A = this chain, B = another copy of it.
Amino acid sequence: MLHPLTEEKVFKDPVHNYVHVQDQLIWSLINTSEFQRLRRIRQLGTTYLTFHGAEHSRFSHSLGVYEITRRIISQFERSLYTDWPKEERLVTLCAALLHDLGHGPFSHSIEEAFDMDHEEWTCRIILGDTEVHRILLEEGADFPDKVASVIRKDYDKAIVVNLVSSPLDADRMDYLLRDAYFTGVNYGTIDIDRILRMLRPFQGRVVVKDSGMHAVEDYLMSRYQMYWQVYFHPVTRSSEIILRQIFRRVKELHEYGFELKFLPEPLPSLFRLEMTTEEYLQLDEALIQTAFMQWRKEDDELLADLCTRFINRLLYQYVEIEMLDMENIDEIRYSFRDVGLDPNYDLEIDFPTDLPYDVFRPEDESKETQILLLDKQDQLLEISEVSDIVRSISGIHRGKYHLYYPANKIAPVIDRLPRHIAVLFQRTELKEDFNDVV
């Protein structure tokens, strides 16, 4: 078993000031090649093309999640709360640190294209023949399984799962603060010290002392604002659409038997959908970007164009459409085809959505998505029962559809499109402004 460090080590972190490492186990995990790989995966995918500051990596986010978890546990221990099972400290810290270990480059897009799941990959890395696995083993033969089990949310101590994944977990708190810091958008600034002070372990869950209700309201509003200002930003969506089209296109080309000139390991295995863990760990954003750079010179014009767009940030334009019936869309598709456009690539529909906080519904068995307040009489109250604010934002769905398309391809044929469709693409949001939108 690994011992505590004789002297605590720190990382300078712009969000939490210092990240404190007090256990040799944590220190060793950070120094594995698998964890270092997270330096080469951006936390916010293509968001840096909208907010140029958002270049931060999953490495720094993972340290941040670990640090918040460490502070929560340290406060639980200092306050001698009896509902906190002390012996779960290390397994919780490891799960917090490693929860994003399986993320691939530009995760959301690549997962969609190649049918992967980062949580599954996290567990494969933890349980496979890796440095991380070997270090975890030193803590006990079943320790890697325990950590994986927390990440899969089937660990038998519910409170540990709750700390690592819940609507008010360390993951969400860190990403709100961190993404706000690096984008420069100040809506994400939450009073984390106050929230942490208000958390209580209680009957197998982490709950919030009721006097912290306003702090939780503020946290949920921050989340709501960050979703609309940053995560669903139409310019970011535009770059993600191009990314997905690139992945889709190379997959098609691969299926057609087209041989790409540039295809270093482990891309062939990726395309064949049969990666080993070792191969998976070689995937990073540098590789993907380098491939895009090289593919700009491939013979397939579509792929070359898409890669050029991504690299040089020549994004798709978009229009917002209020109501959307599918027939209409089909009509647009047909008319696109008629004038020689490719409806599979020259038109994408996007419908971003988020519920800042899903209320409890009686039919739901699980309480995992709830935030519970603890009152002076030790009664639990679901927050939307007592907070007008939370109740009012809980049900808000935003019904805006966006159509994305390459403006330069449509312009030459626009006169040949039916008038009522052409009009749509003429009143386009020709915002060239990078990020002053929404």
Listed in ascending order, the chain A residues whose CB lies under 8 Å from chain B are 8-15, 17-18, 27, 31, 33, 36, 39-40, 48-49, 51-53, 55-57, 59-60, 63, 79, 181-187, 189, 191, 193-194, 197, 211, 214, 217-218, 221, 224-225, 228-229, 262, 264-265, 282, 284-287, 289-290, 293-294, 311-313, 388-389, 392-393, 396, 398, 432-438
The complex is assembled from copies of this chain, and their number is 4
Contacting residues, chain B, for A434 (C-beta < 8 A) = 9-12
Contacting residues, chain B, for A186 (C-beta < 8 A) = 189, 191
Choose one: B13, B191, B286, B392; the contact of A290 (CB below 8 Å): B286
Cβ of A6 to closest chain B Cβ, rounded Å: 10
8 A-B residue contacts at CB 8 Å? A8-B79, A14-B53, A18-B197, A33-B312, A53-B60, A264-B294, A388-B398, A392-B392
Is A60 touching B56 in the complex (CB atoms < 8 A)? Answer: no
Cβ of A124 to closest chain B Cβ, rounded Å: 19
Choose one: B214, B221, B396; the contact of A438 (CB below 8 Å): B214
Known: A53-B56, A285-B286, A393-B389. A12 touches B435 (CB 8 A): yes
Choose one: B79, B181, B194, B393; the contact of A392 (CB below 8 Å): B393
CA distance A17 to B214 in the complex (A): 17
Contacting residues, chain B, for A286 (C-beta < 8 A) = 285-287, 289-290, 293
Contacting residues, chain B, for A225 (C-beta < 8 A) = 214, 217-218
Cβ of A212 to closest chain B Cβ, rounded Å: 9
- Of all A-B residue pairs in the complex, the 3 with the closest CB atoms, nearest first, are A392-B392, A14-B184, A286-B289
Cβ of A358 to closest chain B Cβ, rounded Å: 16
CA distance A59 to B11 in the complex (A): 26
A286-B286, A287-B293, A388-B398 provided; 15 other pairs, C-beta below 8 A?
Answer: A11-B434, A12-B184, A14-B183, A18-B193, A36-B311, A40-B289, A48-B57, A186-B189, A211-B436, A211-B438, A218-B225, A224-B389, A286-B293, A389-B392, A389-B393
Q: Taking CB as reference atom, which chain B residue is nearest A34?
A: B312
CA distance A307 to B31 in the complex (A): 16
Is B284 touching A293 in the complex (CB atoms < 8 A)? Answer: yes
Choose one: B15, B39, B282; the contact of A48 (CB below 8 Å): B39
Is A13 touching B436 in the complex (CB atoms < 8 A)? Answer: no
Is A57 touching B63 in the complex (CB atoms < 8 A)? Answer: no
Is B293 touching A13 in the complex (CB atoms < 8 A)? Answer: no
Select the residue from A40, A284, A311, A432 with max chain B CB neighbours within 10 A: A311
Choose one: B11, B52, B293; the contact of A52 (CB below 8 Å): B11
Contacting residues, chain B, for A264 (C-beta < 8 A) = 262, 290, 294
Cβ of A425 to closest chain B Cβ, rounded Å: 16
Is A313 touching B36 in the complex (CB atoms < 8 A)? Answer: yes
